[in-house]
Amino acid sequence: MVKFLFNGVKVDGVLYKGWYSNGPYNETSKLPAGTITLYAKDYATDFPAIEGTSIENDSDLMSDYSEKDRMRIFPDSPYYADAKAAYENSEAMAKARYEKKRGKVA
């Protein structure tokens, strides 16, 4: 079972923490418009393969270069609507935190 949450994706009861981004993408990126990206929170996170997504990680152990996993959720994915709702929820929560912090500062 796959469930996209504001703070990552839960697959078979295991939460893979991360944060979301949504384009805009251009011709250079070769990603479809509307593609949602879930970035792993830490280096130890290995996103599982999910239908309609791709996992990217360009780490190179030979040159001692490492990066965190990125999961791309494409508009034609069966999970796209869930991922988009999770992205929008995370954005709303971030905005609320910002507004609350801003209100305290003023």
Mean of the pLDDT values across residues 74-92? 95
- Whether 50 has a pLDDT exceeding 50, the answer reads yes
Q: What pLDDT is attached to residue 106? A: 46
pTM of the predicted model as reported, rounded to 2 decimal places:
0.81
pLDDT band at 13 (very low <50, low <70, confident <90, very high): very high
Count Cβ atoms below 10 Å from residue 3 Cβ, excluding itself: 14
The alpha helices in 1-106, defined as continuous H runs, are 80-105
Amino acid, res. 28: T
